[in-house]
Every structure is written in C-alpha cells, then in structure tokens.
Amino acid sequence: MGLNNLQPAEGSVNRDGKRLGRGQGSGKGGTAARGHKGAKSRSGYSKKIGFEGGQMPLQRRVPKFGFTNINRKEYQGINLEKLQELVDNKILTNEVSLDLLIENGLVGKNDLVKILGNGELKAPLKISVHKFTASAKAAIEAAGGEAISL
C-alpha cells in the first residue's frame, strides 16, 4: 500500500445533499425547498390519479353512456376450420375435450368455449364443450360426429 492508492472508507464522503428544514443557517430552512403554500408544500401530499390541478378531470368531463351487464358470460370462439386444421396436423384424433383444447393453447383453463360454424369439417369428431352455434352443430353431425354440451 502506498500513498498513491489510499481511499476513504466506503460511505464516509459525499453526503446526500443538504438536510432540509434544519433552520435558516443551514441554507435549506424555512420552507425546506418546498416553496410557499399550496398542496405540494404540505406534509402527506400525494397527487391523486387523474388530478389535473383543480381543472375538471378528463374522467369526469367525458360523457358516459350504455350499460354493462355484470352477469354477462364471455365465450371463447373456436371455428370448425381450426379443428379441421388440428385433425390434418394429427393433433386431434376423434375426440375433442376441453382439456385437449387447453393443452393445445386454443383456450385458457377458465374460458367458456363455443364452437363456431366457420369453415368445413370433414372428420367425424366427438366434441364436448360448453356451447355450439346451430350451423356448427349441423356441420359436426353432417360429418358423422357428435356435439355434446357441457
């Protein structure tokens, strides 16, 4: 160790600025660098979400309309063409269950599933999901399959 590589102990220099509100002699006394009056100078101040300085907030200015049904059931739709594609790729064989659809990433584990009638189905599949459209049910039965509602 020489004089050329001496260093002060870790954390012993470079204090974190001036301490606020410790009297006029400190240079940051009085208002403690908060300015004069107003909400931001008070202790406990925190700006509310959407606060616009007293101006009427956007959330309250914009008109509200319509109705949201709290009991609405949202179904995840799967078209027949998607099922046929899975059959062609040899992912599905003859039975389609909810677990199989979840496994292949088509739906989430908490989703309600509805089979839609877009596309054509050639394979005779036994499909068991929550709902079917009338055209999907007809197409499945026409292909020799079975549509089972859970």
Q: Which fold has domain 76-149?
A: Ribosomal Protein L15; Chain: K; domain 2 (3.100.10)
Bridge partners for 96 per DSSP:
127
Domains of the chain, by residue range, sit at 76-149
19: its two tokens: 């301490």
Residue 94 is predicted with a pLDDT of 86
Concatenated DSSP letters of 27-87: TS-TTTTS-SSSGGGSTT--PPTT-BTTBPPHHHHS-------TT--PEEEEEHHHHHHHH
Contact between 136 and 80 under an 8 Å Cβ cutoff? The reply is yes
Per-residue pLDDT of the chain (150 residues; tens, 9 = 90+): 799 999 999 888 887 888 889 999 988 988 999 999 988 999 999 989 999 988 999 999 999 999 999 999 999 999 999 999 999 988 888 899 999 999 989 999 999 999 999 999 999 999 999 999 999 999 999 999 999 998
